Each structure stands twice: as C-alpha cells, then as structure tokens.
Amino acid sequence: MIYLDHNATTPIAPEVRDAMLPYLEHEFGNPSSTHAYGATARAAVDRARAQVAALLGCEPAAVVLCASGSEADNLAIKGAAFARLGERDHLVTSPIEHPAVHGACRYLERRFGFRITVVPVDGDGLVDPDDVRRAIEPETVLVSIMHANNEVGTVQPIAEIAEAARERDVLVHTDAAQSVGKIATDVDALGLDLLTVAGHKMYAPKGIGALFIRPGTRLDAVIHGGGHEDGLRAGTENVPYIVGLGAAAELAAQRLQSGAHSEIRALRNRLHAALADRVPGLMLNGHAERRLPNTLNVSFPGRDGERLLAQAPSVAAATGSACHSGRTEPSTVLTAMGIDAPRALGAVRLSLGYDNTAAEIDAAAAALTGHE
C-alpha cells in the first residue's frame, strides 16, 4: 500500500527505534531510583527533554512529558482553568479543534459552569485574530486555538492571536500536534504560554507527548501522585518512549534545517497537479498557501470520499467524514468552513511523509482516478 495518512499517525523512524531499544531491554531502571540503573534512566529522560526543548526553542525545564497529545491538551486547558477557579470562568476556542480540546472545554462547561466562546473560521479554515480579540472578556482565562489543522492543513496566525490575548493578560495555548516537525514551532516567535506536542505525529511511538509551559504560568495538576514532572504530571516515566520522543525531536530539527519539508511540499504539489489534470472540477479545501507542506485535502465532484478510497485499496488515506448509525456525515471541520455537504462528503485527505517517493505519488494519483 501507499501510505498517505501521516496526519493520522507516522511510522516510527529507524533512528527513533534504535534510540529506544536499549531502554526496552537492559536499561530498564526507574528514573527515581538512586542506584546506577536509575541514574542511567534519569540521564536518558533529561537528554530527551532537552531535545524536545531545542526543537521548541525553550529551556528543558519548560517541557512537561505526558502520555499523549490529548493528555497535554487536558493539562493545558483544565490546568489553567483550575488554577484560576473562582476568578475567571471563560474560554475562547475554535470549531476546528481536536476532540481533546473540545472535550476539555465542554467538561469545564458542564461540571464547573465555564462559558465558552467559539470563534468562527473562514472558507480557508482561518481564525481572524480580531475575532479572538473581540471574544476576550475580563473573565477569560485561556485562548486555545490549534496551530495547524489535521484535515486541511491550514496554519493559523498564532502569533497574532497570541498578541491579542497578551493585550488582555490571557493565556494562549495551541495544539501543535500536526505542526511540530513540519514547520517552525518556536514558542517565543509564536508568543505562546502553552504548546502541545504529540509524538506519534512526528515519527515517535504512540503513547508519548509533551506540553511546553512558559515559566511563571499557573497550572493545576490533572494527574496526582508521586510528584513527577515538577508535580504537574504524576506517574513513573515511560523511559523508552520518552527517549523515542527526544530522538524524533532531534530528527525533526535536522530535517527542518536541511529543508526536507520543501521536498514533501514538491511531492504534495505533484500529487495535486496529477489529480487536477484527471479530475475536472477538483476542489482544494483549506488555504492554498498557509498550509502544512505535507497536506492535501481535495473534493472530487459528484463522488463520495469513503467509496472512492474503498475503490482504491492501494492508497491508505482518510476523509474526515464520520459514520453514525449507518449514515455518513460530512466533516465537522469542512462544515465549519462553510463547505456544503456534497463537497464535504467528496473530500479526501492525503497527508504525505518523509518516506514517500515520486513513484508512489504518481501511482496514488492513478489509483485515486481509476487509471491504475
């Protein structure tokens, strides 16, 4: 099969696997132990934390290691809300966020009476920073807008959104699961207080993530226990996976520096051109320029995306549509962008990775258009 679903998950890079192996075998110590086994494990965790910090442009102490991007989102949103409970009770977010963000916000609304303002996106999937500015109230504790969307790849003007929030002394969180490793994610350049990382989106294993927390930011812990991660995330560290996250972060930094993302962009554009040549009326979903270099979301006119992929079994990709009670419903992201149901149901998301080749791209275009 031709794997074009890298926004769903990535394979573990060989360099990441090799870094992890010793900690799956003989280097099995608990980082909290005081003997040599523990010291080796602690050094590995510290090194990985520094590798993640280098990718984000922050100090290692600002990186809290988590079990997933979803946990990091929950720590950011609930942690900020609980730290100001009784002081501020308002959140600002968008309609195209990951379910972990929506779920955390709705939990706070349901259980603690928080109010949520959902700012709209335009037809390209962009949030207007002025809408965020207008949505902020004296009681706003946090703005949470994703950096790049997983379905259409649109990259948000996070620096401008963060500036609008700073004007009102409001924290800013971004779920950067899709952007870390694909585009620059320097936390100072973006002006962020909180940023989520998901390992399995950047060639590390599933079940590992991280949260950048700007020094001085007040958060309450969500998982309580032994005081790990400076008291913000209890639980004995998953050393092999943390090592894998660190190795993946270092690899991502090398790829960004070498311009490897430009090669992926060229392949993505090659795929788009091949599909457009063969499919009259093919429509691009998402911003034409402000988009992840690996992501192509297109609608096939008069077609159903799910059926199209079923008829091209050699291509592993996704649609974003959801099946409920035997009925396919259009993607909530595309719906929020104002795209009508027929076009949304005809959408296919093709997300490339560093392992894809030009030959695979040409074969995928042929398969998706019935020209195998």
Q: Any bridge partners for residue 174, and if so which?
A: 195
Distance CA 354, CA 39 (A): 35
Contact 231, 310 (CB under 8 A): no
Helix (H, G, I), strand (E, B) or coil at 345: helix
What secondary structure letter does DSSP report for 204? S
* 343 CB-contact burial (10 Å; exposed 0-12 / middle 13-18 / buried 19+): middle
Amino acid in the structure at residue 112: F
Dihedral of the alpha carbons of 307, 288, 361, 203, in degrees to the nearest 10: -90
Non-local (6+) Cβ contacts of 321 within 8 A are 305, 306, 328, 329, 330, 331, 344, 345, 347
Cα distance between the two ends of the chain: 13
Give the residue numbers marked as catalytic. Answer: 323
Please name the residues in contact with 210: beta carbons below 8 A apart, sequence gap of 6 or more. Answer: 52, 63, 64, 65, 66, 72, 196, 197, 199, 245
CA distance 57 to 186: 5
Output the six-digit token pair for 295.
């992501």
